[in-house]
Amino acid sequence: MIDIALIRENPELVKNNLKKKFQERKIPLVDEICELDAKKRALQSEGDNLRSTRNALAKEIGSLMREKKFAEAEEAKAKSKANNDRIAQIESECAEVEERLKKDMMSIPNIIADDVPIGKDDSENVEGKRFLEPAEKPFEVPYHVDILEKLAGIDLDSARRTSGNGFYYLTGDVARLHSAILTYARDFMIDKGFTYCIPPFMIRGDVVSGVMSFEEMEGMMYKIEGEDLYLIGTSEHSMIGRFMGSVLPEEKLPLTLTSYSPCFRKEKGAHGIEERGIYRIHQFEKQEMIVICKPEESDYWYEKLWNYTVELFVSLKIPVRQLICCSGDLADLKYKSCDVEAWSPRQKKYFEVGSCSNLTDAQARRLGIRYRNSRTGKNEYAHTLNNTVVAPPRMLIAFLENHLNEDGSVDIPEALQKYMGGKTKIIPAK
């Protein structure tokens, strides 16, 4: 949610931002917000004046009663009643206007950064930097499920019977590899100075509406029937929600946190769930990084965060690139975002394995996350950022394809070997 003052003072900037995001249908909302804001402020001003009059009338009635001027006192009481009736009416009208205003404001996207490329959808995202040169395999790389099955590392048929499509059992050394990657990622971020957290895996509705747009919520979140609880789609939701309604001491910023969680997603929409494979699924695990900082620091942290993911993948000898998200591919709360994509030797192209986002103060405004500015003495909204360290199902695909040998074995890079009990290879099952 952006600052109402920005819409009030510069509505054309907000309308142009909607055009850049190809959301022209929302342009009428800007004028509606301005009208509702003006009406709300007029009602509040009238209410303040009436409350001042009410106080004066109360004194007048007391004085008239002491002077035994009962007729005049009754007239003053009648005025006071009419005054109170109007105050009650104003409060009711103001609540209605505020509700409409909040709904409209929640639909207006964050102002995007000047350097965000303009494009309608993810097909117009722009390549940034590449890291490590992809190596050509002297053999044809099988589909990742075939690799996993040869390693006796996956059971999709049983998962379909117990849970349906979009679920899986990992077994043996592959399951150990999955956990090893997460543990390595955890330690990698702790070594960068981040505080490790395990958050709640369910959050309330007011947290959900604070961390994402309505469109995202509908397509992602699973609701617990009969309760005001949702399964998290990423630990960022729970981690940011932890600071809802807080005023953080300036000296505590930036907060740099890394969190582990399972993640649950409906995956509704164009992509859907894979019938066979673990690229797009309902349940997975992830190591995340979250930063809450002062506004002037968020651009710095954005660059640091996505580069941490690159560094981790490079340490595991997996070629990656940065892909800069265009305006039409940005979720409404995002100021700017980029994906980290890993090289697929099978497909001979890059695919997404993580995403880094700077949301400036849009998320903090929804959740009421502020800090005490020591220079101004005022409470100001913090900036929030998040980034994927690793999400092993997709990471597993990249890992297996890039470290696969022609005999079906998979090499374990040195950085990961201590998390695999010293193993240097995963050998196919006999």
Burial label for 49, CB within 10 Å (0-12, 13-18, 19+), is: exposed
Q: How far apart are the first and last CA of the chain?
A: 57
pLDDT at 211: 84
pLDDT at 275: 60
pTM of the model: 0.88
Alpha carbon 400 to chain centroid, angstroms: 29
- pLDDT at 274 > cutoff 80: no
Q: Which amino acid is at 346?
A: R
- pLDDT at 428 > cutoff 70: yes
Residues 6+ apart with CB under 8 A from 246: 368, 369, 370
Q: What's the rounded Cα separation, in Å, for the pair 283 and 393? A: 9
> Sign of the CA dihedral 124, 265, 104, 386?
negative
Checking 121-125 for CB contacts under 8 A at 24+ apart, the result is 121/326, 121/328, 121/329, 122/325, 122/326, 122/329, 124/326, 124/328, 124/329, 125/323, 125/324, 125/325, 125/326, 125/329, 125/339
Each residue's pLDDT tens digit, 38-80:
999 999 998 888 888 878 888 877 887 788 888 887 788 888 8
52, 40 Cβ separation under 8 angstroms: no
- pLDDT at 270 > cutoff 80: no
Can you list the domains of the chain with their CATH numbers? 4-107 (1.10.287.40), 122-426 (3.30.930.10)
Closest CA relative to residue 211, chosen from 101, 369, 14: 369
Alpha carbon 8 to chain centroid, angstroms: 26
| Full DSSP string of 66-121 | HTT-HHHHHHHHHHHHHHHHHHHHHHHHHHHHHHHHHHHHHHSPPPPPTTSPP-SS
Q: What's the rounded Cα separation, in Å, for the pair 380 and 339? A: 29
Q: What's the rounded Cα separation, in Å, for the pair 177 and 148? A: 12
- How many Cβ atoms are within 10 Å of 152's Cβ, its own excluded? 16
- At residue 390, what are phi and psi to the nearest 5 degrees? -150, 145
- pLDDT at 430 > cutoff 80: no
Each residue's pLDDT tens digit, 112-131:
999 999 999 999 999 999 99
pLDDT at 150: 95
Q: Kindly state the average pLDDT of the residues 379-401.
A: 95
Q: What's the rounded Cα separation, in Å, for the pair 106 and 1? A: 6
Residue 371 DSSP SS3: strand
- pLDDT at 268 > cutoff 70: no
| Pairing verdict, β 169-170 and 154-155 | antiparallel
